[in-house]
Structures are given as C-alpha cells and as structure tokens.
Amino acid sequence: MTIRTRAFGSTGHMSSEVIFGGAALGSESQGTADKVLDLLLEHGINHIDTAPSYGDSELRIGPWMARHRKNFFLATKTGERNYAGARVDIHRSLERLQTDHVDLLQLHSLTHPDEWEQALSPGGALEAAIEAREQGLVRFIGVTGHGWTVAAMHRRALERFAFDSVLMPWNWFAANHPTYARDFEETAALCAERGVAVQTIKSCARGAWAAGASKTRTTWYQPLDQEADIRTAVAWVLGRPGIFLVSTGDTHVLPMILKAAAERPPVPDAAAMEAFSANAGLASIFGL
C-alpha cells in the first residue's frame, strides 16, 4: 500500500505526504540503510530530507542516489550562517550524496535572531544558496527550525526572501500551545497564500527523556513507539490538508509511521485527541 502525494508548494513536484527524515540513518550501517530504502520504495516515499549534521546520514543516502536519483526529491541543509561556510557545506553534501544537484537546500535551524540576521544578510548563508541555485546545484531554497519561536521566525523570513519551503514542529501538543499554535496558523496561512510548502516535524514526539532515563531510541526526545499511538498521531497530522509529515529519526519507529500513513485511519476528533494525549503523556520537548 503506497502513501498518497501532495503538491510540494509551487515547486511542481508531487511529494509523498510522508517525507523520509534522514536523521534516522545518522548512526546506522549501510546494510540497515539499504533495508530502509527498500521500505521507502515499498511505500511510495519519493522525498528524502537529510543534513550534514545528521551523522553519517548523507553518506548512507549517497549510494541510493547513485542508483535511484530519479526516484527522489532530495533535500539537505546547511547549518552555516556565512557565505563561505555554507558554500563548503553545499559542495560537501553533493559529494557525500553522490549527485550533481539537490532539489532543496534549506537553511538549518534558523531561529536565533542574531544567526537569522547573519544568514539572511549580505555575506550570509543565503547568498551561497542563491549562488548554488544559479549554478544548477540547487533547485529550491527553504528554511527550517525548532522551538516555540520558529513559526514566528519563519513568517519573518518569508518577508525577507521568497523561500520555497518551511519546516517546523506540529503535533497535538503544539496545536494547544498558547502562543505557538497562533504563530503556526498565521505562518501556514501565509505559506498557502504564497505557494510555500509546509513540512512538519515532531509528529510522534511524546516528550523529553526523563532525567537519567535509558534512551531506547535514537531521537533526542522520547518518541511515541506504540503502533496505536503512532496511528493516532499520524492520522491527526495528515488530516490537515496541504502539509507534510517528516518521519521520526529512528529506524524502529519508521515502519509504524509508514504503515499508519499508508492505511490512513480516520482523522481523530478533538475528544479522541484529548484522551490520546492524556493516555500517552504528551509533553513539551522544548521546555515552556
């Protein structure tokens, strides 16, 4: 059973509703990575998101691109804030990914006001991204971020530059955050108006790891890892038209996310989500 596709903003690409989060491959072997590729192809995933900071992820994806480049919309990122550093990142990513271009280059985790200003000003990382686009090394440019201020920062970024995509958290807990929900809705509305793709992360986040807890997953936060909970969380996120769900960075959780997205259970209503939140113990992963 394959996962449905949606228009990825104004890029002209029909991307799978679930985008593979390449962070899951950061510490995996090539053998494990290749099994993940088989799973992606089985479910019709045609969009991959990775970054230089995700351990060995780009190196694990590179051999796939040597054989399957035409099957995927490929996105990576740069966490550098100046032109020189971002330019190095872009060329290194192309080498590691074994491709002559990426479809989407994203300014990574751009939320701190000082870093935001540096990256988007003359001599900043955005200049390197634009140059790479002009050279045919990059097709589209996006921006990503985490935390409770990111939706507002993305809206500000869209006023500075015509980004093709944004990436930000969205789940039931975030939708009930007193300020973030409002900022998300305003930014999502602006994106819809301008044809900007909206990618969401942390769909299956449960909360922060308890102090001293043994981490059983490779995510920096504690994810949902029971199939019923994941089905509920995925159904709720994908029940919103026009947005994309970037899969959780753990290869053990991934199959359950793909299965839920492919089967597409009914979208749970607010009462069902309130009960789910209480039973699953959903909590903030970003502090207050």
Write the pLDDT tens digit of every residue in 82-131.
999 999 999 999 999 999 999 999 999 999 999 999 999 999 999 999 99
Q: Could you give the CA distance from residue 42 to residue 38 in angstroms, rounded to a whole number?
A: 6
How much is the pLDDT for 231? 98
How much is the pLDDT for 134? 98
How much is the pLDDT for 207? 94
- What band does 288 get if pLDDT is binned at 50, 70 and 90? low
pTM over 0.85, yes/no: yes
Domain 5-280 CATH class label: alpha beta
**Residue 157: pLDDT above 70?**
yes
What are the residue boundaries of the structural domains of the chain, listed by start?
5-280
Q: What is the mean pLDDT of the chain?
A: 97
Share of the chain above pLDDT 90, in %: 96
Mean pLDDT of 56-81: 97
**Residue 274: pLDDT above 80?**
yes
**Residue 210: pLDDT above 90?**
no
**Residue 19: pLDDT above 80?**
yes
Mean pLDDT of 67-87: 98
Mean pLDDT of 30-53: 98
Mean pLDDT of 188-205: 98
Question: What is the token pair recorded at 238?
Answer: 């994908």
- What band does 25 get if pLDDT is binned at 50, 70 and 90? very high
Angle 83-97/57-68 helices, nearest 10 degrees?
50
Write the pLDDT tens digit of every residue in 212-268.
778 889 999 999 999 999 999 999 999 999 999 999 999 999 999 999 999 999 999
